């Protein structure tokens, strides 16, 4: 069976169809959390540390670390903070270091900024999961070399520059493209975890059946593991 190995300094999480269910905790994410944003802007990481401890205690197998904060006051004081290519890499390293100081849970490094991904990879102990690569050519050219350089697994999201298709065959084709492009970089299929994108059942009655069909195809035809949220 296909197994994707994610590691911290001393712990191992294995994603696989014949493995126990793997829970990725996603509380460490400033998106939509005004209080957390304000705390991070002030250099206060106490809530991040508390979230890391609480999620681990609640059974999270992997902790997702998202550095997408929106700073306000600092942007007015320092022009560097108007540039996300400065903000997110700096914040990502701090988040990784603070979380690793309080828990030894394998990590998932989550950002749309390549510099933040690399800073997270450099700071992380063990073998983190990288989140994420899409089927967009520019994104694959930025992220896949990092995956190869640091020898880590990566989340592959089944959308490209045309957006998220409602057609499951299109989403499968995007995933296949990413897997094939990854192979060109020497990245094996077992290090790719595909997110087939669960559409809202309330908006599309067939969404549930589509996901089951997609997961089966991804497993049998591409030999990859999957993640859904």
Give the pLDDT confidence of 95-135 residue by residue, as tens digits: 999 999 999 999 999 999 999 999 999 999 999 999 999 99
Q: How far is CA 55 from the centre of its chain?
A: 16
Give the pLDDT confidence of 150-206 residue by residue, as tens digits: 999 999 999 999 988 889 999 999 999 999 999 999 999 999 999 999 888 888 888
pTM of the model: 0.93
pLDDT band of 79, cuts 50, 70, 90: low
**Homologous superfamily of the 1-127 domain (CATH):** Dihydropteroate synthase-like (3.20.20.20)
In this structure, the dihedral spanned by the alpha carbons of residues 55, 25, 225 and 178, taken in order and rounded to 10 degrees, is: -150
Neighbours of 205 (CB within 10 A): 8
The ranges assigned to domains in the chain are 1-127, 130-229
* CATH topology identical between 1-127 and 130-229: yes
Are 175 and 160 in contact by the 8 Å Cβ rule? The answer is: no
Residue of 1, 24, 21, 20 lying closest to 189 (CA atoms) = 1
pLDDT at 76: 46
Query: What integer is the mean pLDDT of 142-146?
Result: 98
Q: Which CATH architecture has domain 130-229?
A: Alpha-Beta Barrel (3.20)
């Amino acid at each position: 069976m296909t197994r994707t190995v994610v590691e911290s300094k001393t712990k191992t999480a294995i994603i696989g169809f014949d493995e126990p269910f793997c829970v990725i905790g996603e509380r460490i994410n400033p998106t939509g959390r005004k209080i957390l944003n304000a705390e991070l802007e002030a250099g206060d990481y106490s809530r991040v540390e508390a979230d890391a401890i609480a999620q681990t205690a609640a059974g999270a197998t992997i902790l997702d670390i998202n550095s997408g904060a929106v700073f306000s006051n600092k942007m007015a004081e320092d022009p560097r903070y108007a540039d996300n290519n400065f903000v997110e890499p700096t914040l990502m390293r701090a988040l990784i270091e603070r979380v690793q100081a309080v828990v030894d849970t394998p990590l998932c490094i989550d950002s749309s900024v390549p510099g933040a991904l690399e800073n997270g990879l450099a700071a992380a102990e063990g073998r983190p999961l990288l989140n994420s690569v899409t089927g967009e050519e520019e994104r694959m050219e930025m992220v896949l070399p990092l995956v190869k350089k640091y020898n880590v697994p990566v989340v592959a999201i089944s959308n490209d520059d045309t957006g998220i298709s409602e057609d499951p065959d299109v989403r499968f084709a995007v995933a296949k493209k990413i897997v094939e492009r990854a192979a060109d970089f020497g990245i094996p299929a077992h290090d790719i975890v595909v997110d087939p994108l669960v559409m809202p059942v309330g908006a599309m009655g067939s969404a549930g059946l589509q996901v089951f069909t997609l997961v089966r195809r991804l497993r049998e035809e591409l030999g990859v593991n999957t993640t859904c949220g």
